[in-house]
Structure 1
Amino acid sequence: MYTTYQPQHQPQQPQPPPLQPQSQPRTQQAEQFVTNYYDPGLLDHLTNAIDAGCMEPQGQEALDASMPLMQFTDDMLQLYPDQSLGQTPPDNGSQEQNEERLWPANTMGPPQVYSQALTRVEPNQASEQVVEMPLAQALQDHSSVLVEYYFKEVCGMMSCYDSPMNPYRTTISNMWSGSQSLYYITQSMAAACLSEVSPTFASVGHRLRDQAMICLSREAKIAELETSSLLALVMLGMSLSWHDPDSLGQPQFDVLARKVMSAEARGDPLALADKKKEFFFYNSLVYWKMLLSFVTDMDPNMRSAQPQPIPPDSLDKHEPRMPHPQTGIGIEVQELVASVGSLVRKERKRLRTRRFVSKDDIQQAQDAIIASERLHAELCTIELPQEGDIVDAGDDLTPAIHLVNIAEAYRCTGLLQLYRNFPDLLVPFAQSAHYMTGSPDSSGSYPDERAFTDTWLTCLALHVLDLVKDIPTTSRSRSIQPLLFVSICSELSMCRPYCTISNLQQSPVASIAASPRFRAPLNGLEVLQARKIVISRLSAFENILAAKPIRRMLMLVKKTWACMDEEKKDTYWMDVMMDNGYETLMG
């Protein structure tokens, strides 16, 4: 079922707890510098960046804080469960607050056996005392399996490529045994996946998820979040739907957004490595924001609130680009698609709740049209990296062309949602094309404009499918594909008056101009074959990725088609989603 990458440094199997934790630092070979997002050196930087403010100075060498991180306010701490919930690792030894701040640097060494991750050594007692971080016995019994499964399968689900350059493998393998939150969240994610084949893991995963929340709350209260806590926050928020498809991670997104944006707003000078790390987490926010924009009413608009991080000044944009685990090579496109999702959802909600026409309603419609025109222009003018512009991520199953095609598919699916909801955007292309309708409507006339719009939408949906359907399911880029398949489903209609488009003289983007879909006549068999591909691919993802969100997506797609076929009219997938409460994180 799975194609597994065998890491060079996989965590050891659990052994009985040693008298003392290992303290040999891990040294990683320097890799060639790569640009724009982060390089292999940043993996080391992420790994070693434990905030000095969270340590006592006695017995420890001073560590430089890797980047300014925000203090968490009380309202942000309300996002996490009270520490009375679940089974909180109890304090050992002194109960004073500063003892909660003692996390030695030597726990950030090589991957250790799981039992060592349950211990925490006081700096001034490293040779005398082992302070345990106990788990309930039921959870301890599963730790060995869960940790192994995380590094064998799950870490590849958090990234669109998997190799030693995947930080959710390499960086986490260096950090998990020294971070309470990472220790719990890695196992929680593994338990959520394994619950499909062993239901016992469902309750185990819930308890581990709650433990991760509690630990993140405690870490936030101590001082500034460490890098390990930021990674745990991303992993927690984006995996909540693995346990419950209704959990979207909006509160966790808000916390991470405030943290990332606050550093930029302060205007503090940052070293190059710190800028890279800040931009790394900003990429994660962009992808997360895009997923949320289609399924939440809250507008996660990071641009309007505070300045956004930009690529480090010293990085040449013309040099090869290193793919990011979530955005791949399409951060600019995904930012715009996130804005499209928010705009379209807001407009669909307005139309659904409108009871009468008012000046305010007209103004909102005009504002939406203006916003759609701006987003359309920006999507059409973005220059995406070409295959030769992308650094090899070291994953033979995920060549650069897969990421290029997915970035282009996201651009086209953003355009598709705009054309569906703001059809005036298609007028220039209709005027530049010759088209012939098939059969007349009930009045005996040929509905040329409607037929052109319907045909264009279906052809564009098929073009999006063409961009991704030949990418095998073994490609790690599968982790960022699900939204693409859902977003085209309402254009695969069996009851539209299609026409034949010829001599298309104007096209919004080059890939559409080159697509054969806009030159060949459409027929119902092509639509049915496309539906079959969508179902086949999502069904494959259900067995490879976290099953619960994918299962929800399959329900949404099938329900949309059932409504279209039964009612003999167009039905928009987002309306079906809102009607039935099918919202989930589609990535």
Structure 2
Amino acid sequence: MAKEWGLSYQVRWIEIGRHKYNFRSLGVLGTTDTLMLDRTHQELAKEDHSPSDIVSLPAARDKVHRVPRNILNIPSLLITRWFEQVCPIWSAFDSEISLNRTLAKRLWGESEAVLTSLQSMSAAYMSNQAPQMKAAALQYMQAAMNAITSEILVLNTRGVMQTLPVGVLFALVCMGTIFGWINRHELVNRLLRNTKAILSEAKLHSQSFSPSDRQMLSFFVSSTQYWDTLVTFMGVEDESGAAVSDNNSEDTMLHFDINGNETQYSSLTPHPWTGISTLTSQLFCESIKCCRSFRKKMKGHEDGPASLLDALDVMARAEQLELMLKQLEYPNLDEIGETGDQLTPRQHLIEAAEAYRLSALLHLYQTFPNTSTEVSPIGSFEIARDDVIWGDRVVPLALYLTDLLKKIPPESGSRSLLPILYIAASTGLRFRGGLSSVQLPTALGHSSGLLADHALSFDLGDLSWTHHHGSFDGFTSMSEDIILIGDARHLIMQRLGLLENCLYPKPIEIAKNLVKAIWEAYDNDLFNQHDVHWADIMEDLGLRSIFG
């Protein structure tokens, strides 16, 4: 995908206060020419014609009809399309209450960085239906990065930050989304790190900010935390080889109410990216970091006391997170502000927040099977400390999570939150003992999975092959969880297919391939070793993207 979009860049260092910024001013290969728009009929009329150019009336009519009847103003069209098509899929809910929409309305006429960033998003989104828009998307990306760099330079000359640079921050978030769409992970990380650095600098001076700037600071902190969650889930490493992390994780837990007072929660107005899942997604992010760190240590086969102590520290952190997740409570429905979006009632946001909580627990239980659990996280089944982890903890939790996600319709405005949650649920949908537990006849059991296209590719006209497999009585009894897991797998693939048609499709396509690869690895684990882990599969196959 990176080669397909043909991006190249040069490094430009920018320093603001104590923080160093590394922006890449994009130079787009093969698109250096001025963006060509359709010429107007007046321009066509000014062209000189020799007598030999005079043609018959029918030919002249044919020439006239080849001129477009409606001349589109591409820059204006892209802004219009952003508000009509991109904003709804970029938010957990979409209405005049959403800060994503209101900020874009206020800033696109004031900030060149915001204007070109919105145009870049629209052009990239439209290129799925009209590939001709790809060249325009590349040019607008280049213009947006140049504008962001220029505005950062202006900000740098002002010394102490007295007001929050809302336009620059909003543009950075927009561009981070685009590069996530087209799988330019190194640029996603670079923009994320610079956004965090700007926010860290802003927090040092936040006491002198106006109440509105303090509210915007809380908004961008929450937005960046969710961005960090998506990057952490896909496990991309930075240039030093370490997993991308927030060096100011304590700061990201701070929120501000509308009066500028520091509180645990900003207000009960839903966030346009996370809904009411801001704190829950933070715990999800920390859980994923624990899981990835532990798997990396296990795969590295490191020995020695230091490695053992590191592993024990990660396990202790996992137990702390489990306790925090089980004690987490949400506000009552009537305490949550309205979304203003008919497609996204508040109940959808509560269900999404609960899905994040269960997803975090699901990943912890898979990665740390000895995690102590005394209370069921969902109350629908009893868990004992020494029970079989997958059969009595992971699978039931994954089935419950899938049922919860089923309640959120695919047309909900919160659909942008769902891809990562569908993937999380899929990681727990494992048949006991692989496909061997299904007890398929030999002729069917050689398939790599129950859903393989060739699983039933035999001649139904000749049923003599059935004589070698005994009576039909062998199919009269089957573990109920086999049916439930099969139904849950079908639902997840069906929902991902629907999301592929309404969200930016490339990340959803990767999500579908990742889920299939996880299930295939489970189904082929005939000896039930339970050493298959979703993070290893994502790493080994390179099936990573920004799933949100």
The answer to whether TM tops 0.5 is yes
Letter in 2 for 1:210: Q
The separation in 1 between residues aligned to 2:357 and 2:148, in whole angstroms, is: 35
Letter in 1 for 2:94: D
**Shift of the alpha carbon at 1:87?**
5.6
Q: 2:248 aligns with which of 303, 306, 321?
A: 303
Could you say which residue in structure 1 is the equivalent of 2:458? none
Q: Which amino acid aligns with 1:277?
A: M
| 1:489/1:573 contact within 8 Å kept | no
Partner of 1:258: 197
* Counterpart in the other structure of 2:393: 456
* Alignment equivalent of 1:563, drawn from 521, 528, 538: 521
Measure, in 2, the Cα distance between the counterparts of 1:200 and 1:579: 34
Who is 1:164 aligned against? Answer: 96
Aligned to 2:547: 586
* More moved, 403-412 vs 139-148: 139-148
Map Cα deviations across residues 11-33 of structure 1 (whole Å, 9 max, x no partner): xxxxxxxxxxxxxxxxxxxxxxx
Match of 1:532 in 2: 490
Aligned partner of 1:127 in structure 2 is none
**Residue pairs, 1:226-237, within 5 angstroms:** 226-237=165-176
Please tell me the residue identity of whatever aligns with 2:396: C
Letter in 2 for 1:428: E
Q: Secondary structure at the match of 1:488?
A: helix
Q: Is the 8 A contact 1:337 1:410 kept in 2?
A: yes
CA change 1:380–1:75 in 2 (3 A) is same
Matches within 5 A, 1:385-424: 385-424=331-370
- The answer to whether structure 1 residue 76 and structure 2 residue 21 are counterparts is yes
Secondary structure of 1:198's counterpart equals coil
Contact 1:240-1:249 within 8 A present in 2 as well: yes
Q: Matches of 1:256 and 1:553 in 2, distance apart? A: 26
Deviation string, structure 1 residues 328-378 (Cα, Å, up to 9, x no partner)? 112111111111111111111111121x53112211111111111111111
Q: Does 1:276 align with 2:215?
A: yes
User: By how many angstroms is 1:452 displaced?
Assistant: 4.7
Q: CA deviation at 1:247?
A: 5.6
Residues 307 and 269 of structure 1: CA distance in aligned 2, closer, same or farther (over 3 Å)? farther
Secondary structure of 1:259's partner? helix
Work out the CA distance in 2 between the residues paired with 1:385 and 1:436.
Answer: 27
> Is the CA contact 1:185–1:208 (under 8 Å) kept in the aligned structure 2?
yes
Indicate the residue corresponding to 2:456 in structure 1.
none
Q: 1:217 to 1:85 in 2, by over 3 A?
A: farther
Q: Does 1:379 align with 2:325?
A: yes
Name structure 2 gaps, 5 residues minimum.
1-14, 35-70, 157-163, 238-242, 436-478
CA distance in structure 1 between the partners assigned to 2:506 and 2:25 by the alignment: 23
SS in 2 for 1:169: helix
Q: Give the match for residue 12 of structure 2.
A: none
How does 1:122-201 map onto structure 2 within 5 Å? 142-201=74-133
Matching residue of 1:486: 423
- 1:539-581 superposed Cα distances (whole Å, 9 cap, x missing partner): 1111111111111111111111122223334432111100011
Greater relative contact order structure (CA < 8 Å, 6+ sep): 1
User: How far, CA to CA, are the matches of 2:78 and 2:483 in structure 1?
Assistant: 45
Q: Provide, for residues 361-403 of structure 1, a one-character-per-residue CA deviation record: whole Å limited to 9, x for no partner.
A: 2111111111111111111222212211111121111000000
Q: Deviations over 1:84-138 (max 9, x none)?
A: 997699xxxxxxxxxxxxxxxxxxxxxxxxxxxxxxxxxxxxxxxxxxxxxxxxx
C-alpha deviation, 1:240, in angstroms: 1.1
Partners of 1:536 and 1:419 in 2: how far apart?
Answer: 26
Equivalent residue number for residue 22 of structure 1:
none
Indicate if the aligned counterparts of 1:77 and 1:220 stay in contact, CA closer than 8 A. no
* Matching residue of 2:403: 466
Taking only the aligned residue pairs, the percentage that are identical comes to 26
Residue 226 of structure 1 and its aligned partner are, at CA, apart by 3.2
CA contact (8 A) 1:195 1:201 kept: yes
Which letter maps to 2:542?
G
Measured in 1, the distance between the counterparts of 2:106 and 2:212 equals: 18
Give the drift of 1:148: 2.2
Kindly state the Cα deviation for residue 310 of structure 1 after the two structures are TM-superposed: 2.9
Distance 2:380 2:329 in 1: 25
C-alpha distance in 1, partners of 2:226/2:19? 27
Q: Which amino acid is the alignment partner of residue 546 of structure 2?
A: L
Give the C-alpha shift of residue 532 in structure 1. Answer: 0.8
Report how far residue 286 of structure 1 moved.
1.2
User: In the aligned structure 2, how far is the partner of 1:435 from the partner of 1:82?
Assistant: 58
1:402–1:374 distance in 2 versus 1, CA, 3 Å: same
In 2, are the aligned partners of 1:247 and 1:584 still within 8 Å (CA)? no
TM-score normalised by structure 2 residue count: 0.72
Deviations 1:484-521 (A, max 9, x none): 011121211123499xxxxxxxxxxxxxxxxxxxxxx8
Counterparts of 1:496 and 1:287, CA distance in 2: 36
CA distance, structure 2, for counterparts of residue 322 and residue 338 of structure 1: 22
Contact 1:287 1:327 (C-alpha < 8 Å) held by counterparts:
yes
* Alpha-carbon offset, residue 213 of structure 1: 1.0
Report the CA distance shift for 1:434/1:264 in structure 2 as closer, same or farther (over 3 A).
closer
Is the aligned partner of 1:475 residue 2:427? no
C-alpha distance in 2, partners of 1:315/1:304?
16
Q: Which moved more, 1:468-477 or 1:408-417?
A: 468-477
Match of 1:329 in 2: 276
**522-531 or 75-84: which moved more?**
75-84
Q: Would the aligned equivalents of 1:451 and 1:497 in 2 still touch at CA under 8 Å?
A: no
CA contact (8 A) 2:507 2:546 kept: yes
Does the Cα contact within 8 Å between 1:194 and 1:201 map onto a contact in 2? yes
Distance 2:356 2:492 in 1: 16
User: Is 2:365 the partner of 1:428?
Assistant: no
Higher gyration radius (CA): 2
Helix, strand or coil at the partner of 1:76: strand
Partner SS, residue 394 of structure 1: coil
- 2:497 is paired with a residue whose SS is helix
> How many angstroms apart in 2 are the aligned matches of 1:315 and 1:265?
14
In the superposition, relative to structure 1, how do residues 319 and 262 fare at CA in structure 2: closer, same or farther (>3 Å)?
A: closer
The CA deviation string for residues 147-195 of structure 1, in whole angstroms up to 9 with x for no partner, is 2221111011221111111222232123213322222211211222222
Q: What count of residue pairs does the alignment treat as equivalent?
A: 436
Per-residue deviation, residues 414-441 of structure 1 (Å, max 9, x unmatched): 11111111112245359x999899xxxx
Hey, what does 1:15 align to over in structure 2? none
CA distance in 2, matches of 1:167, 1:177: 16
> What TM-score do you get using the length of structure 1 for normalisation?
0.68
1:345 and 1:574 in contact (8 A); partners too: yes
Question: Map of 1:479-518 to 2, 5 A cutoff?
Answer: 479-496=416-433
| C-alpha contact 1:556 1:577 (8 A) present in aligned 2 | yes
